[in-house]
Amino acid sequence: MRRNSIRPPCEIIVKKLFPALRAALVEELINKHKLTQIQVAEKLGITQPAISQYVNQARGAEYKKILKFFELDAEVKKMAAAIAKNRIQFPNKFQIYCEICTKMKKKINESLLLKEFNNKK
């Protein structure tokens, strides 16, 4: 028997959505801003093999669907442009993640409330 598990939005964001966000950033930085995998790795603070996994969709493979659901295309493009032009420095890089996370949490909570409301009908 499967039990219903309720996971907090933060857990969902960390496990599913941040990898999707990184995958989108990697694609944008490599394809639009013409950075190498090594340059992207340095800018994002992760390894080149991790970048390769994002490129080959071994990580964050569902990112297009996730970005569409959370309406994050504009944020990703803005963040990638700022990263590519070295306009984001620590700790401001974390602030952008926090803003995106807040938007994601709001959308998750709205979805959960809607699902709960529809189940009560």
Across the range 24-45, mean pLDDT stands at 95
The pLDDT assigned to 13 comes to 77
pLDDT at residue number 96: 74
Say if pTM beats, i.e. exceeds, 0.85. no
Backbone angles phi, psi at 69, to 5 degrees: -60, -45
52-69 average pLDDT score: 87
Residue 9 has pLDDT above 80, yes or no: no
Q: What is the separation, in whole angstroms, between the first and last Cα of the chain?
A: 25
3-state secondary structure of 45: coil
- What is the mean predicted confidence (pLDDT) over 90-102? 73
Question: With 70 as the cut, is the pLDDT of residue 53 above it?
Answer: yes
Q: Which two tokens stand for residue 39?
A: 């340059």
The contacts of residue 59 (CB under 8 Å, 6+ apart) are: 19, 22, 23, 50, 53
Mean pLDDT of 64-77: 85
